[in-house]
Amino acid sequence: MKNPAHPDTVLIIDFGSQVTQLIARRVREAGVYSEIVPFQKAEEAFRRIEPKAVILSGSPHSTVDIGSPRAPDTVFSAGVPVLGICYGEQTMSAQLGGKVEVGHHREFGRAFLDIEDDSALFDGIWAKGTRHQVWMSHGDKITAIPPGFRVIGTSAGAPFAAIADEGRKFYGVQFHPEVVHTPDGAKLLRNFVRNIAGLTGDWTMAAYKDQAIAAIRAQVGDGRVICGLSGGVDSSVAAVLIHEAIGERLTCILVDHGLMRKNEAAEVVEMFRGHYNIPLVHVDASDRFIGALEGLSDPEVKRKTIGKLFIDVFEEEAKKVGGADFLAQGTLYPDVIESVSFTGGPSVTIKSHHNVGGLPERMNMKLVEPLRELFKDEVRSLGRELGLPEHFIGRHPFPGPGLAIRVPGAISRDKLDILRQADAIYLDEIRKAGLYDAIWQAFAVLLPVQTVGVMGDGRTYDSVCALRAVTSVDGMTADFFHFDMAFLGAAATRIINEVKGINRVVYDVTSKPPGTIEWE
């Protein structure tokens, strides 16, 4: 059944690209609601959603391989605008009568698009006869376009880098407009959904808040909800939103697993009890968690151990407060997407840490996930609509397993204490320098390495601390932040002087391609 809350939806068919989420992000930034579905479920989703436009994503696959992904024929016969991106353009061409071949010149990375003809897709952005930077990532090559199409853009390695059938409103581009490396790509996607598809752009957080509150009330009825607070933005926004909907029938439980940042638990307790007066249970389970983690070195084992213990402790505390009918979680849309193995491609092997598969049957509760349609930046916008403090909304992302994955190798309470102090000093220096909001994420890592050093008149044999800071538009790609040496010197000196157990500090200058940016 079509979702009445989102009558104007753009359906994005995912063929396994690592950056499919970015397409959805760009569409939503244009004020239009978008939804991603794996190609295996695309036909059912198309009939259910009745989208106003369709976008076909990239893929690690080759259209010439037997059994490679295809778009449902319904997409091309329904009379809705279609945009194919990279593999999406190739499968569109192959399915509509064109030809795709392998063994030709490949294009990966920065390339330049020559605009051969004007088009509604380029209207107001690129004019005929101009050249523009784009980002390519393809090995196959379209060698013949389908009947009805014309060439509107070429590149050195792709004679059909952009094609159009204006009559049917079908478009294909060999480059990736969704990534920031294509500077005008967001404008192109906006052109497609707003001008070509004719969608009005009424996707706003104010409207979403009202819809979400109504949906929570309809789902919960007269029931009671408990919400697991992690200390992060997502679960906090979910809790405040649910409180707006059902008031005192919400109880929050903060399980302090001993892996949080310095003073983080106290700050969350103060905000919820003092500022919002939301019923909150604060559980100190640090001994239990750290005891279970000691000796574990594999990051995936750490994650699973923390996840299982969290459920156990949460279930115990829920019984103490009289139980509830629903459990609230701060699940986001990327969590939902990444928890599904769409194609078995690279995106699956990169993302293994989200678990939104439901609760143990013994808990006998239903899930309330009011943020599962939102991306991180949208959650922050919703938090502002709900009146959460700006300093809290703008906090850097922090992983669910907390400091456990920022102590590579075996964990101990001493190591966590050392890291917690170093991390706090690092963030304090960043704030003092006025750089916090310019950085997407910054954190310290306690490396499983010890070095000989000289401090004063004595030799030391202590740990190495790594500092990481990245800039990112979307969290999918990241580049290291370019600190000046004066800042790094000041931060390193403070850490070495104030944190016993560290005698050397290094700065990580690794950039990350699409995928995870956590340190594991």
Q: Assess whether 176 carries a catalytic annotation.
A: yes
* Given 176, 243, 257, 353, the catalytic residue: 176
* Given 35, 89, 107, 178, the catalytic residue: 178
Establish how many alpha carbons lie within 13 A of residue 270's alpha carbon, considering only the half-sphere containing its beta carbon. Answer: 7
Is there a contact between 122 and 163 (Cβ–Cβ < 8 Å)?
Answer: no
CA distance 481 to 441: 9
E strand or H helix that includes residue 412? none
CA distance 390 to 384: 7
Is there a contact between 510 and 478 (Cβ–Cβ < 8 Å)?
Answer: no
In 396-457, the DSSP E strands lie at 441-455
Burial grade of 397 (CB within 10 A; 0-12, 13-18, 19 or more):
middle
Q: Assess whether 465 carries a catalytic annotation.
A: no
DSSP letters along 9-72, please?
EEEEEESS-TTHHHHHHHHHHTT-EEEEEEGGGHHHHHHHH--SEEEE---SS-TTSTT-----
Distance set, CA 163 to CA 149, 160, 178, 365 (Å): 6, 6, 17, 51
* Given 29, 35, 86, 264, the catalytic residue: 86
Residue 417 makes CB contacts below 8 A (sequence gap 6+) with none
In 180-298, the DSSP E strands lie at 225-229, 250-256, 280-284
Smallest CA-to-CA distance from 139 within 57, 64, 55, 38 is with 64
SS3 134: strand
Distance set, CA 350 to CA 40, 108, 294, 480 (Å): 20, 20, 26, 20
Instruction: Describe the crossing of helices 286-293 and 299-320 by its angle, rounded to 10 degrees.
Output: 150
Residue 462: CB atoms within 10 Å? 18
Q: Assess whether 104 carries a catalytic annotation.
A: no
Active-site residue set:
86, 176, 178
